[in-house]
């Protein structure tokens, strides 16, 4: 544990608390671009960081009865096996001397750019969905009719991309839930997404730990700096209008995604 890792954890934790954007979307690209840490180490370390820092949030949401455990279970039934399989494949590629970090970098870049678009269009998409439901639009009807299967398939996709990039369990996961369960209150979507994200990031993180792609010293520093800073950022963020925060978040994620793409 060193001062630099503590300061990094503090900075990223503050931005996470301020904006609500998940750690993977910010922490991993910062570690790769700003500190020259290998993509595999950055992803593996950040996955455990996310699992630990988000744990308290699930306890809160469970007490407030804002977690749909059935939906979280459907997501997990796809994501957990997919994560285990992905980690196994990465381990085999590492043992065979195959450059799997290039795949991780490409996935991280794509997920950051995709997340930025989700941030930009989320409100418009929700308005469209609610209008479609009120008019009984055929697309909305199809989504509702097959949403259990689509939830499992979405979990499968999340299991793969989160294990490769540490990005997606937050912004992308909640966007999928908003699409498939548009009548659920926003707080329930957030709680359910969080309840699914913790076991997914923990399992993927321990998989990376077993593979040797987690820096425990770095993780300790990030946690020491990050946990109090998340609280501080969340207090300040409550007083900032969404109309200012959302464009800034989208621009930041898009910039990070493009910067990573240029390094490939």
Q: Give me 183's structure tokens.
A: 């009548």
Average pLDDT along the chain, 264 residues, taken 10 residues at a time: 80 73 76 87 92 82 88 96 96 89 91 86 71 61 78 96 88 84 84 91 95 92 86 74 74 87 80
Q: Closest by alpha carbon to 226, among 55, 31, 11?
A: 11
Helix (H) or strand (E) holding 170: none
String of DSSP letters for 51-115 = HHHHHHHHHHHHHTT---HHHHHHHHHHHHHHHHHHHHHHHHHHHTT--THHHHHHHHHHHHHHH
What is the tens place of the pLDDT at every residue in 189-214? 888 988 999 999 999 999 999 999 99
Q: Are 139 and 183 in contact (CB under 8 A)?
A: no
End-to-end CA distance of the chain: 30
Q: How many domains does the chain have?
A: 1
Rg (CA), the chain: 18
Q: Closest by alpha carbon to 1, among 45, 53, 51, 47?
A: 45
Whole domain around residue 59: which residue ranges? 3-263
């Amino acid at each position: 544990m060193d001062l630099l890792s503590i300061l990094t954890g503090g900075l990223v934790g503050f931005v996470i608390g301020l904006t609500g954007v998940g750690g993977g979307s910010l922490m991993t690209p910062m570690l790769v671009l700003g500190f020259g840490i290998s993509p595999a180490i950055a992803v593996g370390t950040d996955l455990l960081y996310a699992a630990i820092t988000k744990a308290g949030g699930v306890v809160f949401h469970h007490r407030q009865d804002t977690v749909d455990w059935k939906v979280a279970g459907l997501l997990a039934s796809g994501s957990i096996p997919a994560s285990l399989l992905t980690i196994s494949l990465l381990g085999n590629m590492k043992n065979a001397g195959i450059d799997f970090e290039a795949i991780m970098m490409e996935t991280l870049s794509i997920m950051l750019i995709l997340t930025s678009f989700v941030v930009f269009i989320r409100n418009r998409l929700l308005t469209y969905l609610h209008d479609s439901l009120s008019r009984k639009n055929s697309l909305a009807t199809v989504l509702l009719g097959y949403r259990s299967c689509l939830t499992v398939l979405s979990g499968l996709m999340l299991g793969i991309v989160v294990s490769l990039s540490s990005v997606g369990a937050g912004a992308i996961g909640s966007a999928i839930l908003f699409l498939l369960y548009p009548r659920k209150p926003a707080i329930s979507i957030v709680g359910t997404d969080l309840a699914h994200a913790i076991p997914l990031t923990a399992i993927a993180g321990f998989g990376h730990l077993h593979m040797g792609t987690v820096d425990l010293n770095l993780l300790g520093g990030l946690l020491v700096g990050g946990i109090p800073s998340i609280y501080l950022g969340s207090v300040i963020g409550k007083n900032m209008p969404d109309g200012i925060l959302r464009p800034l978040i989208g621009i930041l994620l898009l910039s990070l995604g493009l910067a990573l793409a240029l390094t490939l």
